[in-house]
Amino acid sequence: MATVHISNAAARMCAADGGMAGPEQARIWLLGQVERGVVTDRLPHSMQGRRSPTGQFCVVDGVLILPLAHARQGGWVATSCHFDPTYLASRDGVGNVDPFALSGPELARLVSFSGHCRDRYRERCGGPRRDQDVDAELGGIIARSGRAVTRRPSWSSSSRDDAEFYLVADDEYMLPVVRQGSATRPFVATTCMHRAQDLFGYSGAALADLCRLPSSAGDAGPRLIALRAALTDSGATLRWRPSRRGRPVPDTRFSIEAGRAELAVDWDRTAATPLTIVRVCRGGRRWRRLARGAQPNLVIRMLRALARRG
């Protein structure tokens, strides 16, 4: 669809009828709506009789219409703004809802996600490729435990302060939010941060130093030294999800790839050494047997051999 610019008159009408703080907030909100709109000469039944300089309108969700004129710079310009009166009467002030009074599913249904937020979820949380799948996963996370807070969590290192509030969930997700969404989803999450995201920047020796064996492993000191050396030599990397050849392990969070070996890893968000190697998912039966109890030098040799083959 061609670009739709927002005139001052359209922004003022939107602010007045939509209960927004002012024309500038309304303009930003409208610019987000027109991306989902359709340019057409057909109006919803309840909006029949409206006029447009060109006979064309931008119609959004059947409840918002913007009469269009040709813009000097190309594209369209919205000359005014009209809401479906039935919608305005029935929405019960959703645009002015207090997010701090809601949580879980009630809050999730009012939140949409920007393209930047989806990209960061993919980058930092191993999210799926399709936008609708990202929206479903993030919506599910918010519905499960999401709540609005006025301050970002202490673990967040970002210095951005343009958010109106923050969504936090599971004590590990944080999404800054602005009130620029659609008529039915007034809140837009602008980015996504995860408490473990910095761990994925480590590899090799730096990642190995963050790993430990389970407390049930007994005298794990020599084995841990051996495993850390092998992870270093193989240039091990941390993955959010297992590879296609690996299998998910219950009650673990991440996966480490070390050459041809793959290890299931649990995560303790408060520990100084936060990654616990729980199981070898891939690397051969002999390697798994060695990892459980062989002499450290044999573990090192086996992992180095796997790394060279990989």
Listed in order, strand segments (DSSP E) in the chain are: 4-6, 38-40, 57-60, 64-70, 76-78, 82-83, 111-113, 147-149, 165-169, 173-178, 187-189, 193-194, 211-212, 237-239, 254-258, 261-267, 275-282
Domains identified in the chain and CATH numbers: 4-90 (no CATH), 94-195 (3.30.2310), 199-309 (no CATH)
CA 263 to chain centre: 25
Pairwise CA distance, residues 107 & 140, whole Å: 11
The position carrying tokens 């891939």 is 282
Q: Under a CB-based contact definition with an 8 Å cutoff, are residues 197 and 254 in contact?
A: no
User: Is 302's pLDDT higher than 60?
Assistant: no
The model's pTM is 0.62
Q: What is the DSSP letter of 99?
A: G
CA distance 241 to 238: 9
Q: Could you give the CA distance from residue 141 to residue 171 in angstroms, rounded to a whole number?
A: 11
**Distance between CA atoms of residues 67 and 30, nearest Å:** 13
Residue 103 confidence class, pLDDT cut points 50, 70, 90: confident
296 confidence band (pLDDT: 50, 70, 90): very low
Q: Which has the higher per-residue pLDDT, 55 or 87? A: 55
Cα 105 to Cα 102, 142, 144, 173, 202, distances in angstroms? 9, 7, 7, 16, 35
Residue 286 has pLDDT above 50, yes or no: no
pLDDT one-digit tens code per residue, 151-187: 989 888 666 667 889 999 999 999 999 987 666 778 8
Neighbours of 132 (CB within 10 A): 9
Mean pLDDT of 102-116: 88
- How many whole angstroms separate alpha carbon 179 and alpha carbon 26? 10
Cβ atoms within 10 Å of 286's Cβ, excluding its own: 11
Crossing angle (nearest 10°) for helices 115-125 and 131-145 = 80
User: Which stretch, 8-17, 245-254, 300-309, has highest mean pLDDT?
Assistant: 8-17
| Contact predicate 60/37, CB 8 Å | yes
The answer to whether the CB of 58 falls within 8 A of the CB of 65 is yes
For 31-64, what is each residue's pLDDT tens digit?
Answer: 888 888 899 999 988 788 899 999 999 998 888 9
Q: What percent of the chain has pLDDT over 90?
A: 38
| Max mean pLDDT range (46-50, 76-80, 305-309) | 76-80
pLDDT per position as a tens digit, 203-249: 999 999 998 887 765 556 777 787 788 888 888 999 998 776 666 67
pLDDT of 10 over the 90 cut: yes
In this structure, what DSSP letter does residue 67 have? E
Average pLDDT over residues 116-136: 92
Torsion angle in degrees (nearest 10) through CA of 124, 125, 130, 136: -130
Predicted confidence (pLDDT) at residue 99 exceeds the cutoff of 70:
yes
What integer pLDDT is reported at residue 290 of this predicted model?
Answer: 39
Instruction: State the chain's maximal CA–CA distance in angstroms.
Output: 84
118 vs 16: CA distance, rounded Å: 32
The pLDDT assigned to 182 comes to 66
